[in-house]
């Protein structure tokens, strides 16, 4: 037992020298009659004393002992561990954020990409103890953050994402699903979710096929539509707008039919950006359902040191009662 003995808050022990010095100083200061001889005539002082006053043992060694025990109790002596049960929600979410030039369109103020980043913040804030990862894609896909419980870091990384960072324009979803799958396959949990935030897709057939395959493997693909049906001028990624024949500015509009098909093939949901609260609630519901199935296998136990300073309290109380004896103070 003694080889495991230690203090949980050892810095509190620094108060011991102060307590001991104060005890010695007070004991000397109040020795005999203390300061009364300087205030009362020597002939009158014996008549003012209570009967039996000044006799008996000095209280200061006892008071010093009480203070010492109190400091030791506050320092948290410990020599035994406590085993407790802990449980983490067996959920992993990978967010796939589209960074095509069209995401700079302003039909959603201040822009589609800005609103999508706000939605990513909401999703991360609700992750609780789920693991989260982040993938950015346009013409190709790039892993921004692997699966982690460090939500704050993922949030900071997502806020720096912009279509201007992507070396290749486009809206190819298949590479993004493949990158997200690599992240999820590195984790053995039961509830694996991909949440794609996008406004368009350039490879719908392959994306639907890939989403269906992932659903068969136990990975759910959800799609969040970013944009409006009325649309806005389509940015070209160079500060201007895309133009068609005759120099006419092209529009970028949200076409939910293809996005809905991808979500259906992936066994997930298609929601508009304004419906994110409903998707978040459904993600949590799926995690709770999966937790019920996996509770036996993912149940873990944690150990922690017990604070045994509580066992000094009865002794401190008993000694404090003795120190309160009449005539000692």
> What Å distances lie between residue 172 and 196, 207, 235, 281, 284, CA to CA?
12, 8, 17, 28, 28
- Contacts with 59 (C-beta within 8 Å, 6 or more apart), sequence order: 323, 325, 328, 329
pLDDT digits over 139-159, tens only? 999 999 999 999 999 999 999
Asked if the model's pLDDT at residue 295 lies above 60, the reply is no
Domain ranges of the chain: 2-83+303-323, 91-237+249-298
How high does pLDDT run on average in the chain?
85
pTM: 0.64
Kindly state the average pLDDT of the residues 304-327: 82
DSSP 312: G
In which band, very low, low, confident or very high, does the pLDDT at 100 lie, cut at 50, 70 and 90? very high
**More confident position, 198 or 3:** 198
pLDDT on residue 61: 83
- Contacts with 216 (C-beta within 8 Å, 6 or more apart), sequence order: none
pLDDT digits over 180-224, tens only? 999 999 887 778 999 999 999 999 999 999 999 999 999 999 999
pLDDT on residue 150: 92
Rounded Cα gap, residues 251 and 190, in angstroms: 42
Number of Cβ atoms within 10 Å of the Cβ of 113: 25
Which parts of the chain fold into alpha helices (H)?
15-29, 36-39, 45-48, 60-74, 112-125, 151-159, 173-185, 204-216, 256-265, 276-298, 313-323
Rounded Cα gap, residues 98 and 259, in angstroms: 13
Asked if the model's pLDDT at residue 307 lies above 90, the reply is no
Contact between 30 and 287 (Cβ < 8 Å): no
In which band, very low, low, confident or very high, does the pLDDT at 35 lie, cut at 50, 70 and 90? low
Contact between 98 and 196 (Cβ < 8 Å): yes
Contact between 68 and 18 (Cβ < 8 Å): no
pLDDT digits over 43-64, tens only? 676 666 555 444 456 677 888 8
Fold of the CATH domain 91-237+249-298: Rossmann fold (3.40.50)
Asked if the model's pLDDT at residue 296 lies above 60, the reply is no
> What Å distances lie between residue 165 and 4, 112, 179, 328, CA to CA?
54, 16, 18, 79
pLDDT on residue 275: 93
Kindly state the average pLDDT of the residues 309-319: 88
Strand order in the sheet with 191-198: 141-148, 131-137, 91-98, 191-198, 219-225, 267-272
């Amino acid at each position: 037992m003694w080889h495991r003995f230690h203090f949980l808050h050892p810095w509190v022990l620094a108060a011991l020298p102060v307590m001991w010095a104060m005890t010695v100083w007070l004991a000397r200061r109040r020795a005999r009659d203390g300061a009364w001889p300087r205030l009362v005539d020597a002939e009158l002082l014996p008549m003012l004393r209570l009967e039996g006053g000044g006799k008996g043992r000095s209280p200061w060694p006892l008071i010093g002992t009480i203070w010492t025990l109190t400091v030791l109790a506050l320092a948290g002596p410990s020599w035994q561990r406590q085993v407790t049960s802990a449980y983490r929600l067996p959920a992993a979410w990978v967010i796939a954020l589209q960074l095509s030039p069209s995401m700079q369109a302003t039909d959603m103020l201040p822009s589609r990409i800005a609103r999508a980043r706000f939605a990513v913040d909401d999703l991360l804030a609700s992750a609780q103890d789920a693991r989260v990862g982040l993938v950015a894609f346009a013409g190709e896909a790039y892993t921004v953050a692997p699966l982690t419980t460090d939500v704050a870091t993922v949030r900071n990384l997502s806020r720096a994402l912009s279509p201007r960072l992507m070396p290749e324009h486009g809206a190819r979803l298949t590479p993004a699903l493949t990158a997200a799958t690599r992240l999820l396959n590195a984790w053995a949990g039961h509830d694996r979710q991909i949440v794609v935030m996008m406004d368009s897709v350039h490879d719908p057939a392959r994306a639907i096929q890939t989403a269906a395959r992932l659903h068969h493997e136990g990975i759910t693909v959800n799609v969040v539509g970013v944009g409006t049906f009325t649309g806005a001028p389509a940015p070209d990624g160079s500060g201007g707008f895309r133009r068609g024949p005759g120099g006419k500015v092209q529009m970028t509009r949200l076409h939910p039919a293809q996005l809905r098909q991808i979500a259906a093939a992936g066994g997930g949901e298609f929601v508009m950006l304004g419906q994110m609260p409903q998707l978040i609630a459904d993600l949590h519901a799926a995690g709770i359902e999966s937790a019920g199935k996996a509770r036996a296998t993912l149940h873990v136990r944690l150990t922690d040191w017990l604070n045994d300073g509580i066992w000094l309290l009865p002794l401190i109380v008993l000694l404090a009662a003795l120190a309160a004896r009449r005539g000692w103070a």
